[in-house]
Amino acid sequence: MKEFELKTCKVESVEFINKLPSNVKIELSNKYSYNVGYSKLNTCSGEFKAEIFDKNSPERFRILVVMKGFFTISEGIAKEQLHIKTYDAIFPHVKAFVSTLTSNAGIPPIFIPYIDISNQSIYRVEMPGKIKRTEEEE
């Protein structure tokens, strides 16, 4: 069995605000968050939130997409590695959704940039109120 397999993706919610006048230039900013929930049945779900907005007037242009991916997982894979690998598996789906949404809305397609999370600290909650850092702090 593979370490993990993406079974399906679904968009849970979309907010799209486009109240910009024609022919205006904007400066886009992106925010992402990604969380993984595990079950005892060798499955997990990853929730990817992507927010794209105009830095100068987010009330006039903003996209918020929440997409979930559902995975089967093999036993023994470290959760930190699974977190990174499932993020990498779901990211192209979020990117394609945002570019299709914007293109179909009559504006130039927006292609969100990939962020490599493999070299970033990942935090995991072990017990209520206690957070464990998975990489050593230097």
Read off the pLDDT of residues 71-120 as tens digits, 9 standing for 90 and up: 999 888 888 889 999 999 999 999 999 999 999 999 999 999 998 888 76
Specify if 68 maps to a domain: yes
Q: Distance between CA atoms of 30 and 98, rounded to whole angstroms?
A: 12
- 38 inside domain: yes
Residue 121's pLDDT band (boundaries 50, 70, 90)? low
Indicate the residue type of 6: L
- CA dist 134 and 127 (Å) reads 14
Nearest to 80 by CA among 50, 38, 128, 138: 38
Q: Which residues contact 68 (CB under 8 A, 6 or more apart)?
A: 9, 10, 12, 45, 46, 47, 48
Q: Is residue 9 part of a domain?
A: yes
Range 3-8 average pLDDT: 93
CATH of the domain at 24: 3.10.420.10
In-domain check, residue 138 = no
Q: Is residue 19 a contact partner of residue 61, using CB atoms and an 8 Å limit?
A: yes
- Using only C-alpha atoms, the chain has a radius of gyration, in whole angstroms, of 17
User: Domain for residue 61, yes or no?
Assistant: yes
Partners of residue 95 on adjacent β-strands = none
3 state DSSP class of 97: helix
Domain residues for the domain of 51 are 4-133
Number of folded domains that form the chain: 1
pLDDT tier at 21, thresholds 50, 70, 90: confident
Q: Report if residue 116 sits inside a domain.
A: yes
Identify whether 73 is part of a domain.
yes
Contact 84, 117 (CB under 8 A): yes
Output the six-digit token pair for 110.
């927006």
Collapsed DSSP state (helix, strand, coil) of residue 87: helix
